[in-house]
Structure formats: structure tokens, C-alpha cells
Structure 1
Amino acid sequence: MKKLLIIAFLSLGLTPLAQAQFGVKGGLNVAELQGRTGEDASYRAFYHVGVFYQANILGPLAIQPEVQYSLQGGNLKSAFTNYDSQLHYLTVPILAKLTVGPVFVEAGPQFGVLLSANQSGNLQVGFTPDGQPAYGNVSRPATSEFKRGDFSVVGGVGLKLSSGFSLGGRLVAGLNDINDAKNLSGINDPRLQNRVFQVYAALQFGGRK
């Protein structure tokens, strides 16, 4: 967590304050969890909100660090299970942003810290006396079943409107395995990754328009 904050603050100091634009943003997450063998993944709708700092460095090029609260996860379904996972993240994207006229493109890494997680639906809840998996319809905390850190790459495009407003869309592709479940057997794959499509609106304050 401390490393994420240090990276963000270092990015904030790249250019003078007069050439920076602070802003707020929020929008829709359409997310799924990919990579688990034996279960079909499908998307679920969530949301994200955050703040950002656009530091103009050279002509149309800028660096934009952000801090976001991002709710993501998805649905996983097999012959015996059908459940939703909700993962609450603090995410820090650090993006290079190129603006040409009203259009901008952005790309870079994103670091995420899992704050909490829960699961609801038909899940494996244990084993029967003869050692067979037992299933039940439950809603339960699931933070311990996911790794705390998540590293992703981000790419997106957007449109700058008047009065500091902008609209954009992004793909956030998780690169590392976030699955940390150790108490179940039969359906757990060694890899589980976040995949999130984001649509957002942003409002910038100050700096160069």
C-alpha cells in the first residue's frame, strides 16, 4: 500500500502545478473473472469512482496518475455452482495520455489492493461425511480466497468536451493470478484474473484546457 502511494506522489511532482489538471471521475465497470477450469465466466455490472491528476509534460503528452475505488468481480458457473464474486479494490492507474484535438488515448500500468471480497449464490460449502463436495446457497465473506495484490495493464480512448468534461472507455486486463483459495478442491484452477471494461465521465479543474 505504501509503495502505491509513493508512486502516485512521485508522479504528481513531474510538472509544475500550473500545468496540471485535477479532476474527479466515475462510471460503469463491466467485469468478469477469467481462467478457472471447470467454470464458465460471465460479466457482471459494477462501478468505480476516483480522483486524478493530469500533468502535462510535453505538447499533447501528459502523465495521469489516479486513485480509484473499483468494485469488480463476475459470475462463475459450473454443473454444481452458480455464484457472483464482488471484489472491492483500491486501484492506482498511472497512464500516459496523448491528446490530439478533442480525442485522447491513454495506456499504462495499474496497481490494485484488495480491500474486501464476498461471494453469493450456490457454492461449495464443505464435504459430506463420505468425502463428497457439499453445495449450498450462501452469502459469505471471501477476502481470504483472493490475493491482496493485483497488477493490470490499461488501455483506453476518450473525448474531451467543453467546460472540462470528458467521456472515455477503457479495458483493464489483469496479468497476475489473484486466486488464493486453499480449502476447496475439484474446481479451483491455479490462475484467476480480473478483466474489466470501464465507461466513465470525468470533470477536470484548473490548469491548461
Structure 2
Amino acid sequence: MKKALFIVLLSMFYIPFAQAQLGVKGGLNVAELTGREGESSSYKAFYHVGVFYQANIAGPLAIQPEVQYSVAGGNLKSAFTDYDSKLQYLTVPVLAKLTVGPVFVEAGPQFGILLSADQSGMMQVGLAPDGTPTYGNESRLATGSFKRNDFSVVGGVGLKLASGFSLGGRLVAGLNDVNDAKNLSGINDPRLQNRVFQFYAAFQFGGK
């Protein structure tokens, strides 16, 4: 995964500058963690910021690699638990972008590396002498409870505005299980996958 990220980042600088436009972007993440049985998931609001490099290929078609700091996670709740997870990623989407007039659509893969994670709220904190779970309200670092790599598919639409500005929205759907925790009885927890709706504003230097 790290090798693939390095190749993507390196390739961004081999596209002739005259054919490309650098830009900056940022906005809202509405994220949840899906897939855990016995707990209902709900969305939490986070954010993302990043830079991108739009390389024009032919006519309305372009390739757009990006580097983002992006926060995912969500709330999980059961009869005994109610806690939030906050996962901080370095993400690299590599998107094909098709522009027709002021409207564009974009899609492609995204690679992510987990930087840190934390959890807070009512969760399992131990086992009673008879083996039954005990619960408590706490905040804790949880980086070791999640896998370091995340792979997603991205799809979105947007609108180009004047002077290089644009607005857009995306769905980022995680494909792999990001859960790497064992519960306190030593059994692997069910799968968890990231799902993020992104709403962003972007500015391209030299854009018209």
C-alpha cells in the first residue's frame, strides 16, 4: 500500500505543468462506520482538506490525483454502548474527471493510511469475574484497534464556477474491513467499513 501511494505521488510531478492545474480544496465529511452486527451506526460530521493536480488528457477528460487529510468514523450504539470513533487518514484519491460545460463527474479508487484514531463514550471496559462484560464511559486512543490501510471507491459530481472555483459532492465507499480490534474476551469483532459523504469547495490556480 505504501509503495502504491509513493508511485501515485511521484506520478503527479511527471505530468507537464502546462497540461495541469494545481488546486486546493476542503469541506465537510459526513461519515459512518458500517457492518457491525448488534450495533446501529449513525453519521458524524468531520472535515477534510487537501491539494489536487488536474491533468488534462484529451478534450473533456482529465486525471485528478489528490492528497488529503480526511477524518472519518461515526457513532455506534447498542443496548449497552453508545460511543463515537474518530479516524484520521492521509488519503490519495486518483480520479478520472469528465467535464461537460460547467458540470463535471469524477470517479476512481482511493488509498488511505490511518494516522491516528480515538474513541469516546459508553463502551466495554472489562470483564467481571464471572466473564460478563462491564461497561463504562471513557475516552481512549484507539489507533491499534483499526487497520492501517483503507481502500475505497469514489464517485461524485460538481459544478465549475468562475475564476477557478468549484463546488462538489462525493460518496467514498470503503471496500475493506478496517477493524483490527479484538474484544476483551479475545474474539475478533465483526467487519467495519468506512462510508463518507464529502461536500467541498475547491480553487484551481490559473483556472478560468
Please, which runs of 5 or more residues in structure 1 have no aligned partner?
none
Specify the alignment match of 2:8 in structure 1: 7
1:3 aligned counterpart, secondary structure = helix
Is the CA contact (8 Å cut-off) linking 2:181 and 2:189 kept in structure 1?
no
Number of aligned pairs? 207
For structure 2, the 5+ residue unaligned runs are none
Identity %: 79
Match of 1:25 in 2: 25
Residue 154 of structure 2 corresponds to which residue in structure 1? Answer: 154
Q: Would you say 1:122 and 2:125 are equivalent positions?
A: no
Name 1:131's counterpart in structure 2: 131
Instruction: For 1:47-62, list aligned pairs within 5 A.
Output: 47-62=47-62
Give the Cα separation in 1 of the matches to 2:154 and 2:18: 27
CA-atom RMSD in angstroms: 1.5
How far apart are the structure 2 equivalents of 1:36 and 1:189? 8
What is the letter of the counterpart of residue 148 of structure 2? R
One-letter amino acid of the structure 1 residue matched with residue 137 of structure 2:
N
TM-score normalised by length of structure 1:
0.95
SS class of match (2:6) = helix
For 1:167, give the aligned amino acid.
L
- Give TM-score scaled by structure 2 length: 0.95
Spell out the pairing of 1:38-187 with structure 2 (5 A cutoff).
38-185=38-185
What secondary structure is seen at the aligned counterpart in 2 of 1:5? helix
1:12, distance to aligned residue in structure 2 (A): 4.1
CA displacement at 1:128 relative to structure 2 = 1.0
- Any idea what the Cα deviations from partners look like across 1:3-62, whole Å, max 9, x if unmatched? 30222322442x421011000000000000000000000000000000000000100000
Q: How has the CA–CA distance of structure 1 residues 29 and 187 changed in structure 2, closer, same or farther, with 3 Å as cutoff? A: farther
Corresponding letter in the other structure for 1:3: A
CA separation in 2, counterparts of 1:10 and 1:145? 32
* Structure 1 residues 127 and 52, CA gap change in structure 2 (3 angstroms): same
